[in-house]
Amino acid sequence: VVNRDHVIRSQPNLIWFEGDGCICMEESKFNYFLSRLEVKRTVMLDDGRQRDSVYTLRSYALHELGLLLHQQGFRVAEVSGMTATPGVFFGADSPRILIVAERRADKRDEPSRPPPPGMPPE
């Protein structure tokens, strides 16, 4: 998952790139109330036509993903920020959030373990 805290550091943003027979421009800004990246893409075709599209992407912070997993019966076993550095997460400097999660056993079968730092007790 894209790391919300990494994304917001580069917003607002304006980029352009060339595609096959077109030039694309994207304007993006982060909506802090909804935790969504709002993007307007303009595609200018070689024949002079222009197409605009708007879309939003929900962005998640690590604590939100951990809570969602916990609510569904999982525990976070490991967090990474890149595939090249398993088990290493540098907060906003990590472009992604990669989580290894385990389904929690029935409470009667599992010895009690402390939750990872910052996570609610099971």
Q: Which fold would CATH assign to domain 4-58? A: N-terminal domain of TfIIb (2.20.25)
SS3 for the chain is CEEHHHHHHHCCEEEEEEECCEEEEEEEEEECCCCEEEEEEEEEECCCCEEEEEEEEECECHHHHHHHHHHCCEEEEEEECCCCCCCCCCHHHCCECEEEEEECCCCCCCCCCCCCCCCCCC
- Once rounded to an integer, what is the mean pLDDT over residues 101-109? 78
Q: What is the pLDDT of residues 27-79, one digit of tens each?
A: 999 999 999 999 999 999 999 999 999 999 999 999 999 999 999 999 999 99
Instruction: Report the percent of the chain where pLDDT is more than 70.
Output: 86
| Domain assignments of the chain as residue spans, ordered by start | 4-58, 62-103
